[in-house]
Chains A and B, each alone.
Chain A
Amino acid sequence: ELKVEQNPLFLSMQEGKNYTIYCNYSTTSDRLYWYRQDPGKSLESLFVLLSNGAVKQEGRLMASLDTKARLSTLHITAAVHDLSATYFCAVDSNYGGSQGNLIFGKGTKLSVKP
């Protein structure tokens, strides 16, 4: 059974600082997704990571995937208040096949303070 763990679950940062959110998963997978959710809102897709060593960047966020370690990271550079949200990683449960169902982590609630 695929399990996905994120840490930390809560993160309070100061503006301008760097930090990393970790996403570990328990069984082999080759597709990982990062989503952002603002309070009371829907989920917005941030990154799709499809292969070992994949790295994607958008603004102050950079995501990477290490399939051998079963680990993805979401790195935040020089945080700003607008990045305050809950970030979810989600792992595809159907390794080697067509897209399967996603198993979500519990989310990391990020608060960026001035």
Chain B
Amino acid sequence: NAGVTQTPKFQVLKTGQSMTLQCAQDMNHNSMYWYRQDPGMGLRLIYYSASEGTTDKGEVPNGYNVSRLNKREFSLRLESAAPSQTSVYFCASNRIHTGANQPQHFGDGTRLSIL
């Protein structure tokens, strides 16, 4: 079972370059999330998509955009990368409906360095 798949796993960018991080899940989950993880900071939510066709800002959205392409895929775009965006990025998904309390399932992460 693939679960949540993130690509690429590693990336090095120069300041000002753009790139898109891809995420796909095969668990028929309706909700998807993008987090960043920095040393000593835990995970912080960047954007989320509660269902196909909707996206909302999380705690740290500045400098990022997202697209919920379909139910399976949720991408994160850095339009003009900055060194402060060097981080490990995790995508997660779960199924949300009344009475459901499933934990989020996480991908393996994308390690992004911006020089």
Q: Chain A: residues with CB nearer than 8 A to chain B? A: 4, 9, 31, 33, 35, 41-45, 48, 50, 88, 90, 98-99, 101-107
In the bound complex, what is the Cα–Cα distance between A35 and B43 (angstroms)? 11
Q: For residue B95, which residue of chain A has the nearest CB? A: A99
Interface size on B, residues (CB 8 A): 27
Q: In angstroms, how far is the closest chain A Cβ from the Cβ of B74?
A: 14
Number of A-B contacts (CB under 8 A): 52
7 A-B pairs within 8 Å (CB atoms) are namely A9-B40, A42-B108, A48-B101, A98-B100, A104-B43, A106-B40, A106-B42
In the bound complex, what is the Cα–Cα distance between A73 and B33 (angstroms)? 26
B43 touches A98 (CB 8 A): no
With A42-B90, A88-B43, A104-B43: A99-B100 Cβ-Cβ less than 8 Å: yes
A105 touches B42 (CB 8 A): yes
With A98-B97, A98-B98, A99-B96: A45-B42 Cβ-Cβ less than 8 Å: no
List B61-108 residues whose CB lies under 8 Å from chain A. Answer: 90, 92, 94, 96-98, 100-108
Q: In angstroms, how far is the closest chain A Cβ from the Cβ of B29?
A: 12
Q: In angstroms, how far is the closest chain A Cβ from the Cβ of B80?
A: 26
B108 touches A101 (CB 8 A): no
In the bound complex, what is the Cα–Cα distance between A33 and B104 (angstroms)? 9
